[in-house]
Structure 1
Amino acid sequence: MTPPPDLAEQLMSAVQGIRRVVRRRVRAEVPGPPLPGAQVELLRVVDRRPGIGVAAAARELSLAGNSVSTLVNLLVEAGLLRREVDPADRRAAQLEVTEAARERMAIWRKARTGLVSAALTQLSEKDTVAITAALPALEKLMDALKEEA
């Protein structure tokens, strides 16, 4: 089936708009300076996969290795990431989130979830059901986009 010609643009506009509004509103509730999205994404990857290396994190984020190295340096300086020498390969590093990062991510997650949950309660049941039904398809779309990268 061929999707409507403007579906991709409408979908991206809606997703980006939701992310932008949530990020702006939640930023006020999270202590410390705001983090760019790429730094937050890297923290999430390292939190999910403690000990991950820079190259593996770059692959997971579909970013260049030197870009992730720069992000790592910034997050280490901010006290949100710890870089340890990989005992199996002394040239490589293993990454770990710090306790400060875990606390900050928990506050951010709680604020984000609260904000979106409150907004969802303002929608009709029909709209909430439609969003719920769309989630599996959106996850498949994400997987398809990752495979193409």
Structure 2
Amino acid sequence: MTELADRLLGTVQGIRRVVRRRVRADVPGVPLPGAQVELLRVVADHPGIGVAAAARELHLANNSVSTLVNQLADSGLLRREADPADRRAARLEITAAAADRMAAWRRARTGLVADALARLSEEDIDAIGQALPALEKLMGILKEQP
């Protein structure tokens, strides 16, 4: 089981690394660190999320997420607004610039992987498609673990 886990992690990390490097060249703007991209994704998926909730979602410390929020706000990609129910708490929203950048990144990433998939055999494409539900369950289990 450990050999399978090691191969799976190496493959997934390798795919992510290659895609990230290739897409950086196609998407305008200064490349963002992975942690900033992940925070933008969380905020895009959960508009109005608070810093503490984003930290829990990312499995990071609150102060680490606060630092990321400050960096992204300074670069015009994230907006902090006071929570009307608790003025001490901030609610996070992505800006139009961040939404545009994320859409360009998603198009480039999806296109790159779709082009690579098209070069595989039908059997390989089917095998990847059949493996996705199990991989999604694995991701859910890993997210639930402390």
TM category (shorter chain) comes to over 0.9
1:125 maps onto 2:122 in alignment: yes
Question: 1:93 Cα deviation (Å)?
Answer: 0.1
Structure 2 equivalent of residue 146 of structure 1: 143
1:42 maps onto 2:39 in alignment: yes
Query: Structure 2: how far apart are the matches of 1:81 and 1:136?
Result: 33
TM-score, normalised to structure 1, is 0.96
Q: What are the within-5 Å matches in structure 2 for residues 82-101 of structure 1?
A: 82-101=79-98
Q: Cα deviations across residues 118-140 of structure 1 (Å, max 9, x unaligned)?
A: 00000111110010001111111
TM-score, normalised to structure 2, is 0.98
Q: Which of 12, 16, 24 is matched with 1:15 structurally?
A: 12
Structure 2 unaligned spans of 5+:
none
Question: 1:5 Cα deviation (Å)?
Answer: 3.2
Q: Cα deviations across residues 95-142 of structure 1 (Å, max 9, x unaligned)?
A: 000000000000000000000000000011111001000111111101
Count the aligned residue pairs.
Answer: 146
Q: Cα deviations across residues 6-25 of structure 1 (Å, max 9, x unaligned)?
A: 00000000000000000000
Structure 1 unaligned spans of 5+:
none
Structure 1: which amino acid aligns with 2:71?
L
Query: Structure 1: how far apart are the matches of 2:67 and 2:133?
Result: 34
Question: 1:146 Cα deviation (Å)?
Answer: 0.8
Q: Cα deviations across residues 63-115 of structure 1 (Å, max 9, x unaligned)?
A: 11111001000000010000011111111000000000000000000000000
Query: Structure 1: how far apart are the matches of 2:3 and 2:45?
Result: 35
Structure 2 equivalent of residue 70 of structure 1: 67
1:56 maps onto 2:53 in alignment: yes
Structure 2: which amino acid aligns with 1:89?
D
Structure 1: which amino acid aligns with 2:26?
E
RMSD over aligned CA atoms reads 0.7
1:29 maps onto 2:22 in alignment: no
Structure 2 equivalent of residue 5 of structure 1: 2
Structure 2: which amino acid aligns with 1:136?
P
Q: Cα deviations across residues 40-67 of structure 1 (Å, max 9, x unaligned)?
A: 1110110111100000001111111111
